[in-house]
Structure 1
Amino acid sequence: MRILLAGGGTGGHIFPLVAVARQLYTESEKEKKSPPDIVFVGPADKNGAQILKGNKIKTRRITTGKWRRYFSLLNIFDSFKILIGLIQTFIYLWWYMPDIVFSKGGYGSFPVIIVARVFRIPVIIHESDSVSGATNRMLARFAEKVIVSFPADFPELPAQKTMLLGNPVRDLTGVNEQYARSQLSIQTVKPTLLFLGGSQGALQINTLVLSALKELTNLYEVIHQTGDKHYKIVVKYAEEKLPKSNISSYHVFPSLNEIEMKNAFTVADIIISRSGAGAIFEIAQLGKPSILIPLENSASGHQDKNALIYQEAGACIILSRSNVKPHILLDQISSIINSENKREQMSRAALGFAKPDAAKDIAKLLLQYGK
């Protein structure tokens, strides 16, 4: 079976696609069938390309353009890029002719779904967030099924095709805590905080950490994933401003590979993160209490809504824009760390929200419709 994966090229799209691809191999092996031939078609940034390559997923890059819903001269330029992408995709799909397409949405998936429609190739679309993206809204009518992650209303998606399966995530479970602590050079018994800036880094979170770094490292072990762009600046600041006695409690990384991420999630008592779907469902998978800081001006406010739904489940605390201040962060962390009852309640809520079988369920659906 030939399965084509489509979507944007950043971690938010790539990680779920990889999770599904792994499960496709597993399901085929269980059924004693030949492993599927899987290829990703779309854009991919440096990190995304490395992740795909590391998971032995073939990649076919195409030119992609983004149509902005406001006047911009860039729309003229990107119109040509969209046209080129459609031609490239048409040629490739005519040659490759997959049995099914699995799309994560985003402008990178637009030409793939359009051309798949021309060739009558079945398409299954996945919407990660609690608010559907523009491409998914536009093209959902062409899909056999539309899978959503959040228990939210999606009036713009065809109800008869829509099903709730959750967001497929990497398996970050199964790591021994003492082993993880040794791998991260954590030497004290202080509670551990994990700050995640996402695959591209989060300036607001990085700034917040640095503003409270001395106080944080006095009380906690701090694991801080900065993103490549901000890493050197963060390290320089820490070296200049942090007391030498605190340095050993600050563990800073530009990015975390999968093994490092497993270790970090295992030892974390609280995770502080943006509220993209991938982050929320990975946090939920391990039942970790979390503090979420939604990205300002995220498309259609999806990070705000993601976080609100997760908070209503009892699994997190939200720091709104007006509350992203060092003293408020410290107070919220303290309120969780100092209350075993609160930690247990948030952990149970997170585990209850998780969809640990999402990748497996999606893989089975693809194998069913791709026959």
Structure 2
Amino acid sequence: MEEKKIVMTGGGSAGHVTPNLALIPKLKEQGYIIEYIGTEDGIEKGIILNETIEYHSIVSGKLRRYFDIKNFSDPFKVVKGVFQAKKILKKVNPKVVFSKGGFVSVPVVLGAYMNKIPVVAHESDMTPGLANKIVAPFCNKICVTFPESLKQLDKNKAVLTGTPIRKQLFEGSRIIGKRICKFSDDKPVIMIIGGSLGSKVINNAIYSKINELLDKYNIIHLCGKGNLNSELVGKSGYVQFEYVSEELPHLMQATDIFISRAGANAIFEILALKKLNILIPLSAKASRGDQILNAKSFEKNGYSLVIEEEELNGNLLLEKLTYLIENKSEYYNAMKKSTLKEGVDNIVNVILGEAKK
């Protein structure tokens, strides 16, 4: 009997990898074997190997919207990656390739197209990222999170599915989360999420008011790789992590208020958990502005309070936290009324539909 396989891809940041993990259990239930294509040194490798999924490495150049000397060499890496991906996919022979975006996905999607393998992509943000813009002509279907995204893509390919949220996030324990952090009192818990690479701007705003914050709150700080603050190690009520995996569901359940970047995966997880939150989107100077649009949408719907990165400082953060707590019932009510759907089943149905053709 022929093995049914699906190859997944996506990388460069955790946001291009972890949504894939939400889909894998459902696809396995349908009898599919999952394999993954990523880069040798990308964040995706560690995350996927931790799930004991077969991993194939290719080279890929980063896609940039700004000038960098590597812009001259990286296109050659992409071309090399296309032929590496084509060879791997011919050997693996999956029924479908699922792409979550990021620069590694470009050669994989092109390799699939050359092998006549159907491709389903997913776009988390309101506006398609550069990688998804490039691969869109070679995809059979593109799943989107926001209704606004449908207008920007081929109407024959775009499907409104929502974003995949890991089932494990709902299975965490507040008690275990507080125990991991050694929080023994009843102060509200704040979790700070600066993305998988961390945010110096957010970190510095927190450090500038750390004592005032710790008077009222316990703090879980996901500060990003290489950003641990040695001066705060062992400080009562404060715990910091570069990156969290298995403990995350417990830590999120223990959290009362999130201070977070506005990547789509993070904000939809916060919304699904119905937690108070302050969003600090990446500025337009440092990004294509997708997080600003995501944050504005959540602010307009009453799910989130937003601080622009350019305005962020410790005093403003304290002020906004006070406002959020004083008006928490309005935010909870808006989140309870949300019609934004958890997307695992919808996306799996699109993938299976292409696999069966």
TM-score by length of 2: 0.92
C-alpha contact (below 8 Å) 1:41/1:59 kept by paired residues: yes
1:31 aligned partner: none
Asked if residue 256 in structure 1 is aligned to residue 252 in structure 2, the reply is no
Cα displacement (A) at 1:13: 0.9
Give secondary structure in 2 for the equivalent of 1:61. strand
Identity %: 32
Instruction: Please tell me whether residue 282 in structure 1 is matched to residue 269 in structure 2.
Output: yes
More helix per residue: 1 or 2?
A: 1
Distance of aligned partners of 1:254 and 1:69 in 2 relative to their CA distance in 1, 3 Å threshold: closer
Does residue 300 of structure 1 match 2:288? Answer: yes
Structure 1 contact 10–44 (Cα < 8 Å) conserved: no
Aligned match of 1:361 in 334, 338, 346?
346
Question: Is 1:59 the counterpart of 2:55 in the alignment?
Answer: yes
Match of 2:230 in 1: 235
Say which is worse superposed, 134-143 or 188-197, in terms of deviation: 134-143
**What secondary structure, in the 3-state scheme, does the structure 1 residue paired with 2:156 have?**
helix
1:12 is matched with 15
**Could you tell me the TM-score, scaled by structure 1's length?**
0.89
Structure 1, unaligned runs of 5 or more: 29-34
Name structure 2 gaps, 5 residues minimum: none
In 2: Cα distance, 1:93 partner to 1:37 partner = 14
| Pair 1:184-2:178 in alignment | no
**Alpha-carbon distance, 1:314 to partner:** 0.5
8 Å contact from structure 1 (residues 313, 349) kept in 2: yes
Superposition deviation, residue 158 in structure 1: 0.4
- 1:107 aligned counterpart, secondary structure: coil
- Give the residue type in structure 2 aligned to 1:18: L
Deviation at 1:67, TM superposition (A): 4.0
What is the CA deviation profile of residues 52-74 of structure 1, one whole-angstrom value per residue up to 9, with x for unaligned ones? 11212211110101344455442
Aligned to 1:120: 116
| C-alpha distance in 2 between matches for 1:369 and 1:97 | 14
Q: Distance in 1 between matches of 2:65 and 2:312?
A: 30
- 1:10-43: per-residue Cα shift (whole Å, max 9, x none)? 21111011111122123x2xxxxxx312111122
Deviation at 1:356, TM superposition (A): 5.4
Partner of 2:217: 220
- Decide whether aligned partners of structure 1 residues 321 and 357 sit closer, same or farther in structure 2, where only a CA change above 3 A counts: closer
Paired residues, number? 351
* Structure 2 Cα separation of the partners of residues 68 and 180 of structure 1: 38
Asked whether the 8 Å contact 2:165–2:342 carries over to 1, the reply is: no
Per-residue deviation, 1:46: 5.8
Q: Distance in 1 between matches of 2:94 and 2:105?
A: 15
Find the partner of 2:330 among 341, 345, 370.
Answer: 345
**Structure-1 separation of matches of 2:171 and 2:333:** 18
SS in 1 for 2:305: strand
SS in 2 for 1:55: coil
Question: Aligned residue for 2:86?
Answer: 90
Q: Whole-Å Cα distance in 2 between the matches of residues 363 and 280 of structure 1?
A: 21
Residue 40 (structure 1) aligns with:
36
The 3 A distance-change label for structure 1 pair 188 and 61 is same
